[in-house]
Chain A
Amino acid sequence: MPDIVLDKVSKSFTKQTHAVEDLSLVIPDGSFTTLLGPSGCGKTTTLRMIAGLEQPTSGEIIIGDSVVFSGKTGAFVAPAKRDLGLVFQSYALWPHFTVAENITFGLEINSVGKKEINKRLDEIASALRLDSLLERYTSELSGGQQQRVAIARVLIMEPSVLLLDEPLSNLDATLRMEMRAELKRLHRETGATIIYVTHDQLEALTMSSHIALLKSGVLQQFSAPLEIYERPANRFAADFLGSPRINFVDATLDQDSLSWGDVMIQLPKSAKKDVGPRVSLGLRAEELGLSRTCGPGMVEGRVLTVLPTGADWYYQVRVADEVLTIRHNDEIPFNYEDIVYVEIRSKSLKIFDDAGSAIL
């Protein structure tokens, strides 16, 4: 089964701006790869270029053995011939067709026999629990049902790559949770490569095997979700992933140690040396600890807000000039105005230079 290779792919709609710039990616066969980024980062454009709905300005796209697009040779393979299926953000269900007609349209177009169509329809309908809905029109379905129809319509074509463009963005919160699980199950069962577009970092983190993080058309980082979470390549990556947002504090770099106020941290040998002295240190809420008593390596702060979420307690704490968001679940909860002592418990340090790149 095919890897999908994007080689220096660029796309510009106008002369001045690039929607996607010099994007190189190898999407492994069978992976669940998410294209993640804020709106306008070029993720949907990338997906559409893979699908063949847009043509890159330059670069090359290879799916498995075939070059589906090449800026050099001018090769271009029509979307329908790329052996992939696309689920649109709006689902794009044809309102004048019933659910069954929607699902089987592609097979009819490709003149698959009636018997075969019915067989596959039965299979897919039962797999996606659509059996009872086949004769309905799509406007009579709920959001989740529509979504399943859209997926069924694609899966019945048995594509080796499944492209999903923000498929969950139109659903409400509880349904979204359900569908995440369902999509993961689907990935497992079909074994197809899934390329998934979303701007929701949580979705990306929970579902993907790989995340390609994009910003303004430029690839920021391409790795496994936890890798990006733990070792963001730059300040943007650190900031974009994780909820609540990561805290950044100003720190000073001196030889092989980092100082933040009175706190001194020893840096590993691998750290870049030719930066600083002013850097910023990224600290996730769970990488900070709170205590009522002062200890070594702790800084004093004052609780500004108490934010219980049920499972976790979050606190906003003012330390010197900065406000940090901190998760702290042990002991008796703190109160507003309490004096607390903050401790750094990071396993991996996230330190960024002026330009925003990680120095570790």
Chain B
Amino acid sequence: MSLTLNRWRFYVTPERVLSVCFIVLLAYLVVVPLFMMVKETFIVHPLERFQIPGSKVNDFTLAHWYRFFISESAYTFFYRPLVNTLIISFGLSFLALLIGGAMAWLVVRTDMPLKETISNWAVVPYILPSWTLALAWISLFKNDRIGGEKGIVSALTGFEPPDWFAYGLFPITITLALHYFPFAFLLIGGALRNIDAQLEESASLVGAGRLAIIRRITIPLIVPSIMAAFLLSFARGLGTFGTPAFLGGPVREFVLSTSLYGNLIGQRPGLGYLAALVMIVIGMLVLYMDHRMVGARKSFVTVAGKGARLGLIELGRWRWALAGFILFFLFSVIVVPLVALAIDTVMLIPGVYSWENLTLHYWIGEASYSIGLGTGEAGILKNPQILSALKNTFSLAFVVAVVTCLMGILVGYAIVKRRGTFISKCLDQISFLPYLIPSIALGATLLAMFAVPRGPIPSLHGSFLLLVIVCSISALPYAVKAGISAMRQIGGELEEAALMAGAGWWTRMRKIIVPIQKSTYFAGMLLPFISVTRELSLVILLVTPTTQLATTISLLFTDRGWYPYTNGIVFILTVVVVGCTVLSRRVMGTSLAKGLGG
């Protein structure tokens, strides 16, 4: 009897238990909500009764599908937003690849000066909230279409930028590309660094010129990274809400994410969830294409790496010019917007740039209906609403960082230990799933799942827990990726050695596995911390007045035109996020690139 028990204990290993637990948990938090969401597209919701005459709440209906895909409004709901979304996503991905790829090539393969500085700065646009640039774009280029104070360009030059330049698809694509190009920079840079120099040298020995080498050898070798960067920017661009909302709204150019948001806010969940579904399907299609196109080639880059140091290409008299140009570019996408935002927070009346107008009212002023914008809100540092939102943001970021880090360790452990088995593949796939779901759509699925009580689980709507769940799920693929690579680096033998010495599972985790990889895990925490701090699209559907976050409250203030507050909050977030990044680099030697799994 006790013998069978022994054997049973052998089968019930920690990694098996972990695998099963996580599969169940993730299925419940990711897969079930997806099905719930599909179900929601077939039933009548409370206020939809107005659109579907004669129906009762919770009736089965095909009306949403009809309205979304076939009816006269389908153009507004679906077709035009779809086309806009695709234009933006493709456009921004290409642009981001171009910018990031060119910068990566210059930094890795040429003798351009100031590489270190450029590499450090090139990541910053990604850690800023994505809509910072949209806000900056508006303050710079807004024209008389949306009335109010003049934009900076218009005020200085008297030239009114045309609508297509000031609002809509063009600036959305540009600002998002400027936000997402660090993906391409990090991924392509990493791949370039790993290319075995001999591969290029042997090409040059048979007489290939520099361009031919780039075209025939270098680029094909980094295709997997290019695709990965493309996919990442595409999927993230798809699910972005803030930028298209700010820049598209004034010219009534909608995308799927704004259609989703509008329909959910307008109490048409059936349509909203359909928009989410379409976004998820597109996300999966893109991944599938990526898989088909690169699939087998993925191994290229990992194989190399031992090769000799690459010879740097001499740029001659261009080297300083190029470095200067790139620094100028980075300066204009990082410093200029931030300074513009910061200046706005100290101007009593927006748009009046004079010394008399300088004020700290929006930072430390008392609530007033008569000073400046007369918002009736106290200054940022004294405003209980804003302070509580900031507190929420940072506690959320911290909790999520810890939770995802733990999940990353445990899931990575379970996957690597059971490598090759069905259960391990299953866990791997399911933890990767959130990667394909555009942020706002992921928020929508969890809303569908947890807005109402289901069985023994009460409604989580408006709870901090729900925010923790959605952010953790969204960060999970990165955390697991980091966890897996950490475990692979450790290898099984280090743990088995402890097992042989008689250390139990808990001791092995605590004394061996976690301490060895602590810097990797720390890097794995940094990324979720940063993304949560500046996250908007993911949480926009899930916050309520009691769980307001810094980003959502700044959206609220933007809606009311209270830019000094919005900008001040963004400024605080930026300072904290950049500070954390720099600090962690100094202290732990971690870099963001590591967390991204470049």
Contact = CB atoms under 8 A, between A and B. Distances in A.
Contact of B516 (A75, A78, A96): A96
Contacts of A78: 6, 10
Interface string B512-539: 1001100000000000000000000000
B3 A109 contact: no
B458 interface: no
Contact of A86 (B6, B497, B503): B497
B549 to A, nearest CB: 37
Given A73-B3, A95-B516, A96-B516, A53 B496 contact: yes
A92 interface: yes
Contact of A80 (B6, B8, B501): B501
Contacts of B498: 94, 105, 109
A80 B502 CA distance: 5
Contacts of B10: 55, 76, 78
A86 B7 contact: no
A107 B556 CA distance: 61
A62 to B, nearest CB: 14
A92 B493 CA distance: 5
B499 interface: yes
Q: Size range of the interface on B?
A: 20 to 34
Contact of B499 (A76, A80, A84): A80
A344 interface: no
A88 B493 contact: yes
B515 A88 contact: no
A85 interface: yes
A110 interface: yes
A94 B494 contact: yes
B470 to A, nearest CB: 35
A89 interface: yes
A75 B7 contact: yes
Contact of B501 (A75, A77, A106): A106
A76 B497 contact: no
A79 B503 CA distance: 10
A74 B516 contact: no
Nearest to B499: A79
A86 B496 CA distance: 9
A266 to B, nearest CB: 54
A61 B494 CA distance: 25
B249 interface: no
A105 B497 CA distance: 10
Nearest to B502: A80
Nearest to B491: A90
Interface residues of A, number: 32
A51 interface: yes
A51 B3 contact: no
A75 B8 CA distance: 9
Given A76-B7, A80-B500, A106-B501, A92 B491 contact: yes
B354 interface: no
Contacts of B494: 92-94
A261 B302 CA distance: 55
Interface in A83-136: 84-86, 88-90, 92-96, 105-106, 109-110
Contacts of B6: 74-78
Interface in A155-193: 157
B463 interface: no
A92 B497 contact: yes
A74 B7 contact: yes
A96 B518 CA distance: 10
Contact of B500 (A51, A75, A96): A51
Contacts of B3: 70, 73-76
Contacts of A73: 3-4
Contact of A94 (B7, B497, B499): B497
Nearest to A75: B3
Given A55-B10, A92-B493, A110 B516 contact: no
B4 A74 contact: yes
- Residue of A13, A76, A89, A110 with highest tally of chain B CB at under 10 A: A76
B507 interface: yes
A94 to B, nearest CB: 6
Nearest to B515: A96
Nearest to A95: B516
Contacts of B491: 90, 92
Which of A55, A77, A78 has most chain B Cβ within 10 Å?
Answer: A78
A93 B499 CA distance: 13
Interface in B476-521: 491, 493-494, 496-503, 507, 511-512, 515-516
Contacts of B516: 94-96
B496 A88 contact: yes
Contacts of A96: 515-516
Contact of A110 (B8, B493, B497, B502): B502
B310 to A, nearest CB: 27
B493 A90 contact: yes
Interface in A5-35: 13
A109 B4 contact: no
Contacts of B497: 86, 88, 92, 94, 153
Given A74-B3, A74-B4, A94 B500 contact: no
Nearest to A154: B500
Nearest to A55: B10
A13 B418 CA distance: 12
A78 B500 CA distance: 9
A50 B8 CA distance: 18
Given A92-B493, A96-B515, A96-B516, A86 B4 contact: no
A93 B497 CA distance: 8
A105 B499 CA distance: 11
Contacts of B8: 74
Contacts of A109: 498, 501-503, 507
Interface of B: 3-4, 6-10, 420, 491, 493-494, 496-503, 507, 511-512, 515-516
18 contacts: A74-B6, A74-B7, A76-B6, A76-B7, A79-B499, A80-B499, A80-B502, A80-B503, A81-B502, A85-B500, A92-B493, A92-B494, A94-B512, A94-B516, A106-B501, A109-B498, A109-B507, A154-B500
The 6 closest A-B pairs by CB, nearest first: A106-B501, A80-B502, A92-B493, A74-B7, A92-B497, A88-B493
Given A51-B500, A79-B496, A109-B498, 7 more contacts: A53-B496, A74-B6, A74-B7, A76-B6, A79-B500, A86-B497, A94-B497
